[in-house]
Amino acid sequence: MTVAFELNGAAVALDLPPETPLVHALRDGLGLFGTRWGCGAEACGACMVLLDGKAVPSCTLALDAVAGRRVLSVEGLGTPTAPHPLQEAFLAEQAGQCGYCLSGILVSAAALLETNPDPDEAAVRAALDRNLCRCGAHNRIIRAVLRAAAAMRGVPA
């Protein structure tokens, strides 16, 4: 069965079993490895994507549930030559150690900044509370999100 949806701004069609979790469809169906598998139980946030602008785990999200919908993965945020302000800020703050959790955190942060362009620290912590980090990079990540928000509002760093 072919499932068609919008991914990172472009139309895609995937011929995979409809129950395939989206995280595996992105990784092995499309070769986009930025979305990471961490638990398969919506409990760690490593596999977060934006579905119609909302951050959701993709490890239990069946491929056919995204038919006709808009999906954004970390690869759709930006690229090394055209980075998203969040990606620039994460590099500027060196906000990551092992980095396995970062894709999901970037996606959660992007969803936050869509709805709240001027979050305070507590709002950032609340928005990232579904994302686990084991290396203890939390404070740098929070600073990076606040830095990106300021940049997106046009406030000089």
Partner 1 sequence: MSGARPAPGAAPPRSADVGPPPAPPKLPGSLETNRRLSQWLRLLPEGRVVVTPGKVEIGQGILTALAQIAADELDVDYARVSVQAAATDHSPNEGVTSGSRSVQDSGLALRHACAAARAIHLGVVAQRSGVPLEALRVEDGTFLAPDGRAIGSYWAEAGSALLECAAPHDVAPKPAAARRVAGTSAPRLDLPDKVFGVPRFLHDMRLPGMAFARIVRPPSRGARLEGVPEAPASARLVVDGSFLAIVCASEAEAAAAAARLAARARWAERDTLPPAGELPQRFRADAVETAGIAARPGSGVAPARTLRAEFFRPYIAHASIGTCCAVARMSEAGLEVWSHSQSIFALRRDLGLALRLPAERIVVHHREGAGCYGHNGADDVALDAALVARAMPGTPVRVQWSREDELGWAPFAAANLVAVEAKVAEDGTLLSWAQDVYGNGHLSRPGCAETPSLLAASHLAAPFPAPVALNPAPAGGGGADRNAVPLYRTGGLSVRVHRWLEMPLRTSSFRALGAMANVLAIESVMDELAQAAGRDSVEYRLAHLDDPRAHAVIEAALAMAGAPPPGRGEGTGRGLAFARYKGSGAWCAVVAEVEAEEEVRVRRLWIAADAGEVVNPEGAAHQIEGGAVQAVSIALKERVTFDGRAVTSNSWETYPILRFSEVPTVEVRLIPRPEEPPLGTGECATGPTVAAIANAIHDALGVRVRTLPFTAENIALAMG
- 157 within 8 A of 150, measured Cβ to Cβ: yes
Sheet holding 54-57, edge to edge: 10-15, 2-7, 70-72, 48-51, 54-57
Q: Choose the binding region for partner 1 from 50-58, 110-118, 138-146, 149-157 (rule: CB under 8 A).
A: 138-146
Element (H, E) at 113: helix 102-115
CB of 7 to partner 1, least distance (A): 13
Residues 62-121, interacting with partner 1 (CB under 8 A): 73-75, 78-80, 83, 87, 90-91, 94, 96-103, 106
- Spell out the residues 6+ positions from residue 25 whose beta carbon is closer than 8 angstroms to its own: 14, 16, 63
Binding region for partner 1 (CB under 8 A): 16-17, 19-21, 24-25, 27-28, 32-41, 43-44, 46, 73-75, 78-80, 83, 87, 90-91, 94, 96-103, 106, 124-126, 128-129, 131-142
